[in-house]
Amino acid sequence: MESHIQTLMEVLQQTKGYIYPNEVELHWGLLVVVYPYVTGLVAGAFILASLERVFNVREVQPTYRLSLLTALAFLLVAPLPLLAHLGHPERSFEIFLTPNLNSAMAMFGFVYAWYLAVVLLLEIWFDYRKDAVIWSRHETGFRRLVHRVFTLGANDLSEHAVRFDRSAGKFITVIGIPSAFLLHGYVGFIFGSVKANPWWSSVLIPVVFLFSAMVSGIALILILYMLTSLFRRMEIDMRCADKLGSFLFYALIIDFSLEMLDFIHRLYEAEESIGILSQMISSRLFISLVVLQILLGTVVPLVLLGIFSPAFHTRAFVHAPAELRRLIYFCAAILIEVGIFSTRWNVVIGGQIFSKSLRGLTVYKVELLGLEGLLTSVFLLILPFVILYVLVKFLPPWPEAEAAAPSEPNS
């Protein structure tokens, strides 16, 4: 008996810590990682669209409608990861039937409904109404039926009606900007308000989530704009690409600065949790945090964009051909998307792999099959692009696809 106790003491001395059996299973898995990533893309894409409509940034006009449709496609998929994670999606209607105003998660249903019905759908309708009326007069079959239903019987093409559409769309965009901040900011608020978790408890978490959403949204639109132009065999507007590269560079600097400020603040506080957090970063999160998020997802894009974007008008930018700049922008945007997804992974998974006793770490293993598996998450990440493809077929966002109004005042 004494020998067994001595052996056990030796094992405990050799190990760095332990974790209780009830803390081995992670309650939030890959689906909860996908959820804030998708909502961040929605908010970022809409904020980019507002630059042209509200702030008159004419250079990004070729991506205005593409940004709106992208935000709508990803917004339609945004609640699906949470519904799949809950296991009983039919119970989600309880949020509206028996609302709990004290629950931040329950309030997502109201924020989502507001953003979808009042902001995105109305702005897309006002922006496309005139074109849909004209398209329906020259089309046949199912496309004509879709465009006629889309107009909701509002066929007035007078100058006054078109001017009202533009004014209403601009007003909705102004309302949509704080709505986009609210949509994704509340996600960071949920994590930041968990005081018992030292990895999440920070007042900067909602702000970091917001700026990372802007970065991911701009990067996604830049990727989609380049790919769709390539598939349509259309020339890429380099003024638009350069402006997107500049915005991406500035937003990435702010996002990275906030993350470093949060990290330095944790080091300065030097609470009792700093030991287990340092151990977690150097072991479990080294690949996802140091390599993917910081090095490949932030530092490398910052260097590439800083050299070849018009932000500093460097010699490399002046002498670099347009093909090289497009390649640099595309690669930087891809790396940024990987880095932002790693950020969401590090926040959601990283906050659950250390014990509440701050004495040990556990391991999260991603399953391939099942409702919480890798295939389900990949499907939810691909589904918005399928929806976007369908939307683009009926509501083409390209500038050359805009229909010209007839000469008569009210046709």
**Which one has a higher pLDDT value, 47 or 366?**
47
* Residue 11 binned pLDDT confidence (cut-offs 50, 70, 90): very low
Determine the Cα–Cα distance for residues 352 and 29; give it in Å rounded to an integer.
Answer: 10
Among the listed ranges 79-83, 151-155, 170-174, 193-197, which one has the minimum average pLDDT value?
Answer: 193-197
**Is residue 16 scored above 80 in pLDDT?**
no
Share of the chain above pLDDT 70, in %: 86
pLDDT of residue 15: 45
DSSP string spanning 308-372? HSTTTT-HHHHHS-HHHHHHHHHHHHHHHHHHHHHHHHHHHTTTTSB-TTSS-B------SSSTT
Q: What does the H/E/C string look like for 247-309?
A: HHHHHHHHHHHHHHHHHHHHHHHCCCCHHHHHHHHHCCCHHHHHHHHHHHHHHHHHHHHHHHC
Structure confidence by residue, pLDDT tens digits, 249-302? 999 999 999 888 888 877 776 666 777 777 778 788 889 888 999 999 999 999
Write down the H helix ranges in 139-158.
141-151
Tally of residues, the chain: 411
**Which one has a higher pLDDT value, 190 or 45?**
45
- Taking only Cα atoms into account, the Rg of the chain, rounded to an integer number of angstroms, comes to 24
Q: Which tokens belong to 349?
A: 């998974």
Determine the Cα–Cα distance for residues 77 and 125; give it in Å rounded to an integer.
Answer: 20
Determine the Cα–Cα distance for residues 395 and 68; give it in Å rounded to an integer.
Answer: 11
Helices (H) and strands (E) in the chain, counts: 16, 0
Contact 280, 352 (CB under 8 A): no
> CB-based burial of residue 123 (10 Å sphere; 0-12 exposed, 13-18 middle, 19+ buried)?
buried
Smallest Cα–Cα separation from 53: which of 159, 165, 173?
A: 173
Q: Which tokens belong to 348?
A: 């959601």
Determine the Cα–Cα distance for residues 251 and 340; give it in Å rounded to an integer.
Answer: 13
How high does pLDDT run on average in the chain? Answer: 82
**Which one has a higher pLDDT value, 52 or 270?**
52
Contact 48, 63 (CB under 8 A): yes
**Which one has a higher pLDDT value, 18 or 107?**
107
**Is residue 187 scored above 80 in pLDDT?**
no
Which of 59-63, 311-315, 356-360 has the highest mean predicted lDDT (pLDDT)?
Answer: 59-63
Contact 66, 221 (CB under 8 A): yes
Torsion (CA) 53, 58, 61, 62 in degrees, nearest 10: 180
Distances (CA, A) of 278 to 1, 263, 361: 37, 11, 11
Contact 305, 215 (CB under 8 A): no
Distances (CA, A) of 240 to 40, 140, 243, 303: 22, 35, 5, 20
Among the listed ranges 64-73, 190-199, 208-217, 347-356, which one has the minimum average pLDDT value?
Answer: 190-199
**Is residue 218 scored above 90 in pLDDT?**
yes
Smallest Cα–Cα separation from 74: which of 292, 389, 348?
A: 389
